[in-house]
C-alpha cells in the first residue's frame, strides 16, 4: 500500500533528520534506545519532530510502546488511517510479565492503545525568526 510506504519513508527520514544520519542507516528493526542510542531527552525531541511532521499529538502513554522504529511506523499508520485499535491496558496497571526489549518509554503494552486523533490545531505561521539563535 503506497500510503504505508509513505508513512514508513517519512518516519525514517524524520528519524534520520533528528539523528543527523543518512536515511539508509535507519531500519525498521532498529531499537530507538539501543541501536539508535537515543537518551530520554533525545526521544522527546524526536517525538516533537514526529508530531510536527505528521501533524498529530502523541500521548505519553502511547510513546511508552515505542521500542523499534517499526513500532512507531505501525502506530502512525493506525493513527493516520483513523483505524480504531483495541484499547490496551494501562501500562502502570499491568506490567508485562516477560521482559521485552528495553523500550524508550517503560512498556510496550501501551503501544496497542490508540487514542483518537486530536483536533487539528489551527495552523499558525511558525515564528521561525524567533527560533533562530541571536
Partner 1 sequence: MEKRVVITGLGVVSPIGTGVAEFWKAALAGTSGISAVPPFDTLPMEAYRSRVVGRVRDFEPAAHLDATQAERLDRYAQFGLVAAREAIDDAALKMDREVPHRVGVIVGAGMGAMTMAERELTRLYLELKPNRVAPGFIPAITMNALGGLIAIAHGAKGPNYTISTACSSSAHAIGQAMSSIRAGQTDAMIVVGADASITPLVLAGFGTLRALSQRYNDEPERASRPFDRGRDGFVLGEGAGALILESLPHAKKRRAKIYAEVAGYAATSEAYNMVIPQEDGVEMATTMAMALRDARTAPAQVDYVNAHATSTVRGDEVEIRGIRRLLKARANKVLISATKSSIGHTLSAAGCIGAIATTMAIQSDLIHPTINYEDPDPECRLPGIAAKPQERRIKVALVNAFGFGSNNSSLVLKRYD
**Binding positions for partner 1, rule: CB under 8 A:** 19-20, 40-42, 44-45, 48, 124, 126-127, 129-134
- Give CB contacts under 8 A, 24+ apart, made by 7-13: 7/54, 7/73, 7/76, 7/77, 7/80, 8/73, 10/53, 10/54, 11/50, 11/53, 11/69, 11/72, 11/73, 11/76, 12/69
- The nearer residue to partner 1, 120 or 134, going by C-beta atoms, is 134
What's the closest the beta carbon of residue 10 comes to partner 1, in angstroms? 20
Q: Which is nearer to partner 1, 42 or 53 (CB)?
A: 42
* Identity of the residue, 17 or 90, whose beta carbon is nearer to partner 1 in the bound complex: 17
State the nearest-atom distance from the C-beta of 85 to partner 1, in Å.
23
Q: How far is the CB of 50 from partner 1 (least distance, A)?
A: 13
Amino acid at each position: 500500500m503506497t500510503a504505508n510506504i509513505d508513512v514508513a519513508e517519512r518516519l525514517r527520514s524524520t528519524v534520520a533528520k533528528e539523528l543527523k544520519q543518512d536515511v539508509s542507516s535507519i531500519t525498521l528493526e532498529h531499537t530507538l534506545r539501543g541501536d539508535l542510542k537515543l537518551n530520554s531527552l533525545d526521544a522527546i525531541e524526536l517525538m516533537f519532530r514526529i508530531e510536527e511532521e505528521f501533524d498529530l499529538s502523541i500521548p505519553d502513554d502511547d510513546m511508552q510502546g515505542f521500542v523499534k522504529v517499526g513500532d512507531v511506523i505501525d502506530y502512525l499508520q493506525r493513527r493516520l488511517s483513523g483505524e480504531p485499535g483495541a484499547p490496551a491496558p494501562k501500562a502502570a496497571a499491568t506490567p508485562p510479565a516477560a521482559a521485552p526489549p528495553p523500550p524508550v518509554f517503560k512498556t510496550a503494552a501501551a503501544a496497542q492503545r490508540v487514542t483518537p486523533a486530536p483536533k487539528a490545531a489551527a495552523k499558525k505561521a511558525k515564528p521561525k525568526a524567533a527560533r533562530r539563535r541571536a
